[in-house]
A = this chain, B = another copy of it.
Amino acid sequence: MEIQLQDVSLDLEFEKYEAKFKALADRKRLQILHLLTKQKSICVCDLSPLIDMPQSKLSYHLKILLDAGLIVKETRGTWSYYGIDENEINGILSDKLCCLFKTDCC
């Protein structure tokens, strides 16, 4: 009984991290994260030319990162500004990935 309950909550953990790793499992999204580490926040219209990606595609990938809780969004007027969720990233990634995907490194 105890074991069963523990298994269920473990499964929920695996499900949770599956979603987060899935969001990280794309070179374009990793590039987006890397760019976001370099500024506090940036809007879609400025990010789009930076990574050479059409707006609809970029919005799609940003939504995946947002739904996974890896980035945060703030809307001001028609603009949406995105930035890294530092706590979340630090809770998942090794310090050795500092320069690539974390803020205040390098």
**Residue ID in chain B nearest A99 by CB atoms:** B13
Chain A residue total in the interface (Cβ 8 A): 25
**Which B residues are in CB contact (< 8 Å) with A91?**
94, 96-97
Copies of this chain, count: 2
* Interface of A: prevailing SS: helix
> Given contacts A90-B94, A94-B94, is CB(A25)–CB(B34) below 8 Å?
no
The answer, yes or no, to whether A42 is at the interface (CB within 8 Å) is no
- In chain A, positions 92-106 with a C-beta closer than 8 Å to chain B are 92-97, 100
Which residues does A use to contact B, with CB under 8 Å?
10-11, 13-15, 17-18, 21-22, 24-27, 30-31, 34, 90-97, 100
